[in-house]
Structure 1
Amino acid sequence: MKRLLVFLFVLAILPISGFSLTVEGVNIPDSYSFNGKDLVLNGTGLRKKFFVKVYVGALYLENKTKDVGSVMSMDSKVIKMHFLYKKVGAEKMREAFVEGFEDNGIKDIDRFRAFIELFNFDVVSSDELDLVIIGDALTVLYNGKNIGVFNDKMLAEAVLKVYFGDKPADNGLKEGMLGN
């Protein structure tokens, strides 16, 4: 009886929030804070390329939703990538964004050249890349360090289409991040 009371006491003092999820060995927190904005985990997915597990993606939003239109219209959202693969070269990163833009009907890719060229580094297993969109601003964080801010609504929308457009980079990733 005494052990049961101790156990119940410990449960009572634990915080209700702060839980996390583990996907492919990666700890995914249930919330994300950036510049005073607190977002909740909407869902996670796995980005695969030719059967290779590239990264675990997590989507954080103001409110949970399974609707792409709601994701696109929310003021604040974060796509967080936890890389699993041993090395993704800088050129592959740039090519992936260009391909994603083209697949989703983005015509003026040169307009986004500064964003694309930002990825001039290789990512390796355990690296993290965050695409933070608040209002019209897109902030890129690499392992927690701010490496670029773009105040361009069209760019923010184009980046979202890479993940949630009609032809996403990975349908399984899209569905997972939508909580399906």
Structure 2
Amino acid sequence: MKKIILVIVALISLSSAIGQIRVGKAILPYEETFEGTELKLNGAGLREMLWIDLYAGGLYLQSKTKDPLAILDADETMAIKLNIVSGFVTQKKMIQAVNDGFQKATFGNTKSLDERINKFIGFFSEPIVKRDVFDLVYIKEKGVKAFKNGKELGLIEGRDFKYALFKIWLGDEPASEGIKNGMLGLQ
């Protein structure tokens, strides 16, 4: 009887391990479903600074690709998951990083996005702590829905906003080459 129980426990553990991947200290699922659309992990990487892991990021798409321009241009449901793994990521630092990211993504020309960027930054109004998980989900023809730990924070309309937001991680000047390459499945 003990052997049967051990086999069942081992099989359950194996099946749950197959559905996830470890990225540094974070665990990301291989699949996510948003608004009825199944997405698969395209790739994942770590945002590091001075040998400290700050957060793990995963890119979820309907079909895998290594082409960042195709991802940015696509009008299909997709998501970026950010799993905070360090206490060094604070509310203030996240807001600053997002602002800097939008500046780089738009070559300093955020005028058409300013109102929506401010609304998006408002999603970081609560403290950010280790193990928080943010999902930034572009819903086809709607816009970007943001979630923190599974709780919906709001919707930012516009494909142009999605383009600039995703460009923070996938553009020519990404938040980190390591996380960009990881999300594209290049490492």
TM-score, length basis structure 2? 0.82
Q: Counterpart in 2 of 1:3?
A: none
Contact 1:83 1:124 in 2 (8 A): yes
Q: Counterpart in 2 of 1:4?
A: none
Name the stretch that deviates more: 43-52 or 93-102: 43-52
C-alpha distance after superposition, 1:49-79 (max 9, x if no partner): 3332110101100101111122121511110
Q: Counterpart in 2 of 1:147?
A: 153
C-alpha distance after superposition, 1:112-170 (max 9, x if no partner): 21112221122111110010011241000000000111112221111011011110111
Q: Counterpart in 1 of 2:49?
A: 49
Q: Which amino acid aligns with 2:100?
A: E
Q: Counterpart in 1 of 2:131?
A: 126
Contact 1:54 1:84 in 2 (8 A): yes
Name the stretch that deviates more: 60-69 or 85-94: 85-94
For residue 123 of structure 1, give the secondary structure of its aligned residue in structure 2. coil
Q: State the Cα RMSD in Å.
A: 2.3
Q: Counterpart in 2 of 1:37?
A: 37
Between the aligned residues of both structures, percent identity stands at 33
Which runs of structure 2 are paired with 1:8-157 in the superposition (5 Å)?
A: 19-72=19-72, 73-104=74-105, 105-107=107-109, 108=111, 110-111=114-115, 112-135=117-140, 136-157=142-163
Name the stretch that deviates more: 40-49 or 23-32: 23-32
CA distance in 1, matches of 2:77, 2:165: 14
| Count of aligned positions | 171
- Which consecutive residues of structure 2, in runs of 5 or more, have no partner in the other structure? 1-6
Q: Which amino acid aligns with 2:30?
A: D
C-alpha distance after superposition, 1:71-121 (max 9, x if no partner): 121511110011100252222111111101111215125232111222112
Q: Which amino acid aligns with 2:98?
A: F
CA distance in 2, matches of 1:74, 1:44: 21
For residue 179 of structure 1, give the secondary structure of its aligned residue in structure 2. coil
CA distance in 2, matches of 1:53, 1:140: 23
Q: Which amino acid aligns with 1:110?
A: D
The Cα shift of 1:47 comes to 0.7
Q: Which amino acid aligns with 1:69?
A: L
Q: Which amino acid aligns with 1:51?
A: W
- Which consecutive residues of structure 1, in runs of 5 or more, have no partner in the other structure? 1-6
